[in-house]
Copies of this chain bind each other. A is one copy, B any other.
Amino acid sequence: MIIDKLYDAAHKKSPVCVGLDPQYSYLPQYLKDKDWSVGEKIFEYNKKIVDASIEDAGCYKLQIACYEALGLEGLECFAKSLKYIREKGAIAISDIKRGDISSTAKQYAIGHFTGDFETDFITVNAYMGEDAVSPYYEFLEKDKGMFILIKTSNPSSGEIQDLKLGESTVYQEMGKLVSSWGEAFVGNCGFSSIGAVVGLTYPKEFEVVKQIMPKTFFLIPGYGAQGGTGKDIAEIFKDDICGVVNSSRGIITAHKNKTEGEDFDVCVNQAVKDMKEDILSWL
């Protein structure tokens, strides 16, 4: 199961998930100066980031919005970047946060687990209930996985997710549902191929979620630019590395104000090593 591969990578390499969320302004000047399309420049940027981080990073997460923003050539770059990562033997997470009725979810499954945009994991929004999730089950048996939104890292996440239902909350109920759906897909590592997205920015809520979802592996946004630290991560991991921690700007713009040249990947490499050290030093 794909979750066993991710669990291994998180332990053997690190729980660092490199967020490939490129924007044109992030590119070093030497790439901007190339006589290429924007899509080609960003693909080259992504490739160099992958090469500079693959020894230390457990996985890569691609925020599809950054590619959709560039239209068709952006999505071509998205497809090529996924292919590059997976051909290198690394694990790709497509951060697409799709969620729709079952016939539509089936189309998304085809779109992101096969063909041009084939990936290893997708992120899913289950506001519509299990119909938005069950069409992916058949793919979980074919070495695919997903992370479902529980308690997100952003400031307004509480508006819906923290609403109180007696002793519980909406995000806790979402956690219970996702945990039950995941039971059928638990791998050898003890975690399910149905994981959960929980932000590092809400440590108290994370503690509650962990108790509700003991077999769930986490995709954790909120490190670095959003305020989360290595110590926060250690408090979540405690006995075992039970998730991967995403950082995007902290890694892919590490060269800013340092170099605009081809050697920008040295800064990227250092940023990944620093993040890995920041996390592992507390464990």
A172 CB to closest chain B CB (Å) equals: 10
- A129 and B157 in contact, given A69-B110, A108-B65 (Cβ under 8 angstroms): yes
Contact with B along A145-188 (1 / 0, CB 8 A): 00001001111111111011100001001100100000000000
Q: Once the chains bind, are A65 and B100 in contact (CB under 8 Å)?
A: yes
Residue contact A117 to B156, C-beta cutoff 8 Å: no
A174 and B160 within 8 A (CB): yes
Binds B, one of A8-16, A120-128, A209-217, A265-273: A120-128
CA distance in complex: A21, B100 (Å): 13
Question: How many identical chains are in the complex?
Answer: 2
Among the listed B97, B107, B158, which residue makes an inter-chain contact with A66, where contact means beta carbons less than 8 Å apart?
B107
Given contact pairs A159-B177, A163-B170, a sample of 8 additional A-B residue pairs in the complex whose CB atoms are under 8 Å apart: A65-B108, A69-B107, A71-B117, A127-B160, A129-B157, A131-B154, A160-B173, A163-B173
Task: Give A residues with C-beta under 8 Å from B.
Answer: 21, 23, 63, 65-66, 68-72, 74-76, 79, 97-102, 104-105, 107-108, 110-112, 115-117, 125-132, 149, 152-161, 163-165, 170, 173-174, 177
15 contacts between A and B (CB under 8 A): A63-B107, A69-B108, A71-B116, A72-B75, A72-B76, A72-B116, A74-B111, A97-B98, A128-B149, A129-B159, A129-B160, A160-B173, A163-B165, A164-B165, A170-B170
